[in-house]
Amino acid sequence: MPASQAPKAVETVAYTLRLHNSATDISHAVAALETLDPAITGVDAPRQEIFRIDTRLIMRIRKLAGSTALVMILAAPAMADVTPEQVWENWLALIQGNGQTVTTESVARDGDALVVTGLTLGIAQEGVTGEGSIEEMVFTDQGDGTVAVTMSENYPISLTFDPPADEADGEPTTVTIDVTQPDLTIIASGDAAETTYDFTAPTLTVALGSIEGVAAEAIDTTAEAVLTNVTGSYLFSAGEGETSDLTSSFAADSLTLTVNGTDLDPSPAEGEGAGPSTVKLTMNVANITGTTNGTLLSAEAMADMAAALQAGFATEGTVNAGATTYDMEVTDPTGLTKVNLTGESSSLGFAMDASRLSYSAGTKGVAMTMSAPTIPFPQVNLNYGEAAFSFLMPVGPSGAPADFAFLTRIADLSISEEIWAIIDPTQQLPRDPATLVIDTKGTATLTTSLMDEAAMATLGDAPPGELNSLDITELRAKIAGAELTGTGALTFDNTDLVSFGGMPAPTGQIDLKLVGGNTLMDKLVAMGLLPQDQAMGFRMMLSMFANATGEDELTSVLEFKDGGFFANGQQLQ
């Protein structure tokens, strides 16, 4: 299996872990994997694009969220009361209310227990169909107002995904999953209005059974994820109207993911010879914890995300993990490629309701090495002290300015000397670790819901709201002995779209400081990387916007006022 196939296998196991709900928050463990290397992105968009969001991504997330209901139901009862019958009946009401089908071979009392055999659950959502079966579930009255729920140690899950819409001749892909959860115990307590579930599982294993679909016969793949010492607690309570509230926590000592695969009959890439390829991947994550809180709606209500948010749907959560190791080897006709990564910790946060959408991810203490036949030296090393990415944005009309924020940070980034030697063989540039920070916040007033596809489509090129303010909390770029820092605050006049070419006119100030910039340009010129005439042009431009305030130190005050633009008091527009 070529390297391009490895993410698919990982995605399959990760997707199933998200679905599985011995504790709904097992998804926390998988989400922690996504924080290994948060993307560092920039923002450069005209006014009409400021508020845009990828609605296709939102729709995809909604599809996957809806399809999780099948497996969530398999491992956790719902709305428990003090008797086994009440637990079972409330469980049925919940899953059927979410659009699932349920069949059983028998439901019968056996002493203090209610025994359910031959349980099969089905789901049919847009783009995904699935079925799962549990041989036996036992709801036991413990005589103290609580009910213990146990089930078969193993059960299979089958998920079928429709081909992409742009593949007219595409085939559906069917994935079978085997779940093993020995000695899983769930204790339900409380009453019908508020039900608490405490669960423990020594291990939880999710293994890839088979893949059927396009070219599946040519791929021999095994994949498995194992969680150890899983514990957690859930509180379900009735909310307003048709809603229910969920408060939960989750912990696991470790998550281990392994993938091994072979592509027996690969199609050769351009310029390469055909031949089998193999991949071996192992990932270990320690000390995983997570929380989730939210207000839940029925599957029918979730079909329209904009309406669901207005009806009260909300969710927020956190995931934290300790030390992480990642090792991958890919062998193909060109040779062996190896990637090794370690990280000290990682975190993830998310929130969504009628007023906001937020996401944050970060890692600390990351070290990565990579070697491959195409790399002109034995090994590439990359290290960084911290990487983080987060955003907060309003998603619906508020009638008043609402907060937004954007952060991207990578601190103390260093690369191996072999790479420096290609760029700077004479060692003129300092090898100090690099840092980039862009930390902003502000307010905006939306007039259209970003989750309403029809309403967004009618806007055309018009923005769905107004930008009110923007604060630059921190701007920092440090590399090769030079450092640029800045802060600022702006407000915007949305009645003036003329002064700045269609953008609302800003009022405010941005303060910038550059240290070591001239020295860096001198060294780049000496290295032949920057022509002398271009360096002269840069210096002339700097002289227009900046004042010398020290040895190789420049400062600049950029002001926006009265429809004009000023640099250090000199009007440029």
**Alpha carbon distances (Å) from 432 to 417, 467, 482:** 12, 38, 10
Round to the nearest angstrom and report the end-to-end CA distance of the chain. Answer: 59
Give residue 268's pLDDT band: very low, low, confident or very high (50, 70, 90): low
**pLDDT value for 30:** 38
Give residue 359's pLDDT band: very low, low, confident or very high (50, 70, 90): very high
**pLDDT value for 572:** 81
Diameter over CA atoms, the chain = 92
Structure pTM? 0.78
Does 108 or 263 have the greater pLDDT score? 108
Q: Is the pLDDT of residue 223 over 70?
A: yes
**Residue-wise pLDDT tens digits, 125-162:** 878 899 999 999 999 999 999 999 999 999 999 999 88
Cβ–Cβ under 8 Å, residues 255 and 284: yes
Mapping DSSP to helix (H, G, I), strand (E, B) and coil, where does residue 95 land? helix
Cβ–Cβ under 8 Å, residues 437 and 388: no
- Measured at the CA of 503, the angle between CA 500 and CA 505, to 5 degrees, comes to 65
Give residue 110's pLDDT band: very low, low, confident or very high (50, 70, 90): very high
Long-range contact pairs involving 544-550 (C-beta distance under 8 Å, separation at least 24): 544/570, 544/572, 546/512, 546/514
Q: Is the pLDDT of residue 464 over 70?
A: yes
Does 473 or 61 have the greater pLDDT score? 473
**Residue-wise pLDDT tens digits, 29-81:** 334 333 333 333 333 333 333 333 344 434 443 444 444 444 444 444 444 35
The Cα–Cα gap between 244 and 194 comes to 10
**Residue-wise pLDDT tens digits, 230-262:** 999 988 776 676 778 889 999 999 999 999 988
Mean pLDDT, the chain, integer:
82
Ranges 238-252, 376-390, 475-489: which has the least confidence: 238-252
- Average the pLDDT over 386-404 and give the result: 92
- Average the pLDDT over 364-371 and give the result: 95
Mapping DSSP to helix (H, G, I), strand (E, B) and coil, where does residue 15 land? helix
- Average the pLDDT over 529-551 and give the result: 85
Quickly count helices (H) and strands (E) in the chain: 11, 27
Does 459 or 405 have the greater pLDDT score? 405
Does 490 or 399 have the greater pLDDT score? 490
b/e string for 422-448 if b means 16 or more Cβ within 10 A? eebeeeebeeebbbbbbbbbbbbbbbb
Structure tokens at 46: 């005209």
- Average the pLDDT over 515-537 and give the result: 88
Structure tokens at 162: 């429709």
**pLDDT value for 42:** 35
Q: Is the pLDDT of residue 270 over 60?
A: no
- Average the pLDDT over 494-510 and give the result: 91
**Alpha carbon distances (Å) from 136 to 52, 91, 417:** 48, 15, 60
- Give the number of residues written for the chain: 573
Mapping DSSP to helix (H, G, I), strand (E, B) and coil, where does residue 127 land? coil
Determine phi and psi for 459, rounding to 5 degrees: -70, -25
434-446 and 380-394 strand pairing: unpaired
The Cα–Cα gap between 313 and 446 comes to 19
The Cα–Cα gap between 352 and 395 comes to 9
